[in-house]
Structure 1
Amino acid sequence: MSNATDHRWLMQYNIVNLVNQCRRLIRAEFDANLSLTDPELRHKLAHYAGRTRSQGMQRLYGEIRLALIELEGPDELITPEEALPVRFYRGQPVDIAEHRKKRPEQEGKSKSGKPLMYRGRVVAQ
């Protein structure tokens, strides 16, 4: 992408109408003002749509995404593994995918087989 920002998607009346509705909801919920001329508008809309508790905002953002797919074609696919940020605990990376793939019968067991204690109580055996 070049230095010039691509705002062709904002030339569609239906998309601008949806974006303005989203801007109003974002202003009400997060007290953040988004500008139509902001080069990062699409990313900010996605950010706030992901953080909102409002189903109306999520529905509006979904309609914007559908309109953009019709206008520009399908988005780049992001696999769930790529979408997950690398998390660190005490300076060591934590493998989130490994914890999500645990089988239910292994959830309560510790790796060493010893019972886990927390505040004087046995948590897992």
Structure 2
Amino acid sequence: MSNATATDHRWLMQYNIVNLVNQCRRLIRAEFDANLSLTDQALRQKLAHYAGRTRSQGLQRLYGEIRLALIELEGPDQLITPEEPLPVRFYRGQPVDAGEQRKTARPETSAQKNSKPLMYRGRAVAQS
């Protein structure tokens, strides 16, 4: 067994971390129907992957506790930047920024409210 492999799994020798990982594995198995092995070389990456995609606050909390325990054990993480940029979203053929869309949508609706009365079955209705 090489020295690099031994240091990669050193974090699994801590009882509290293994306990948290096993709880995460159970939640991942229940939600995603995926079995994670403790001997898998990419276990940390898979835990992070599923913790980022889950709707379960319990799994997110457990993964956060694992990260804190790993920071205490190994020191702070190195920042990992994604290699591919985030995809550009399009709406009707135009690129859309989610932040800009929220900012501009509000004033347009208030301007529309003031310009025309709201009609319902041929009668003007009070706007709230």
**Correspondent of 1:31 among 30, 33, 37:** 33
C-alpha displacement at 1:78, in angstroms? 4.6
C-alpha displacement at 1:87, in angstroms? 1.9
C-alpha distance in structure 1 between counterparts of 2:3 and 2:87, whole Å = 32
Query: For residue 46 of structure 2, what is the aligned residue in structure 1?
Result: 44
TM-score, with normalisation over the residues of structure 1? 0.65
**Correspondent of 2:74 among 51, 72, 75:** 72
Over the matched positions of the two proteins, sequence identity in percent amounts to: 74
Question: Gaps spanning 5+ residues in structure 1: where?
Answer: 109-125
The letter for the 2-side match of 1:87 is P
Tell which structure's C-alpha radius of gyration is larger. 2
Report if the CA contact (8 A) 2:89-2:95 is conserved: no
C-alpha displacement at 1:76, in angstroms? 1.3
Measured on the aligned residues, the alpha-carbon RMSD in Å equals 3.3
Question: Gaps spanning 5+ residues in structure 2: where?
Answer: 107-128
Report if the CA contact (8 A) 2:48-2:63 is conserved: yes
Query: For residue 85 of structure 1, what is the aligned residue in structure 2?
Result: 85
- Which consecutive segments of 4 or more residues in structure 1 shift more than 4 A? 103-108
Report if the CA contact (8 A) 2:28-2:50 is conserved: yes
Query: For residue 63 of structure 1, what is the aligned residue in structure 2?
Result: 65
C-alpha displacement at 1:85, in angstroms? 3.2
C-alpha distance in structure 1 between counterparts of 2:72 and 2:18, whole Å = 15
TM-score, with normalisation over the residues of structure 2? 0.64
Query: For residue 119 of structure 1, what is the aligned residue in structure 2?
Result: none
- Note the alpha carbon deviations across 1:71-118, whole angstroms, 9 max, x for none: 000011356xx587342679xxx988xx3564866568xxxxxxxxxx
